[in-house]
Amino acid sequence: MSVANQILDKAFVHAFLKESNLIEGVTDDDSLVQAWKAWDYLMKEDVLTKDVVLHTHKILMAHQKIRADQKGHFRKLNVTVGGYEAPDWKEVPNRMWAWTLEAMRRSPPIDDKQLHIEYEKIHPFVDGNGRTGRMFMNWMRIKRLNKPLLIILDSEKDSYYSWFR
């Protein structure tokens, strides 16, 4: 299936969004609806900016049980994830600015997997980092690299998590 057809193929996108949610243990229908809305918004954007990142997160997290001031805003606290201590929260805006610049770099071609790993290491949000990160990785694959959508199955999450070790 061509990259252009994948964007339009609702079953393929549905599989990506559903599996992306499952990896994080998010199984409710409302979260899937919000993932669709976030994906739809993101795929209309041609440039990945800090504002696009924040708005995508805000849409995705609309009905999640986190504080309203954490939806669509970078975290304002330090976090440790699986034993990994993410950068100090005060560094997140500058690191995300640098990350978006790298995502939009023209030459040499970006490495979507490495950029995804860097995003997850920044861990810019209190929650929703994995789901937004996989959306941004696939945005890069489709919009910048003309690669197909990458669906990481819930059953493959151990292999996926090994990317970050």
Helix (H, G, I), strand (E, B) or coil at 29: helix
Tokens 């805000």 belong to which residue? Answer: 58
Express as a percent the part of the chain with pLDDT over 70. 94
Q: What is the pTM of this model?
A: 0.91
Is residue 19 within 8 Å of residue 154, measured between CB atoms?
yes
| Tens digit of each residue's pLDDT (9 = 90 or more) over 93-103 | 999 999 999 99
Q: In angstroms, rounded to a whole number, what is the distance separating the alpha carbons of residues 73 and 113?
A: 24
Check pLDDT > 80 for residue 125.
yes
| Tens digit of each residue's pLDDT (9 = 90 or more) over 27-82 | 999 999 999 999 999 999 999 999 999 999 999 999 999 999 999 999 999 999 88
List the domains of the chain with CATH numbers: 3-164 (1.10.3290.10)
How big is the CA angle at 35 (ends 115 and 11), to the nearest 5 degrees? 95
pLDDT at 110: 79
What lies within 8 Å, CB to CB, of 44 at 6+ separation is: none
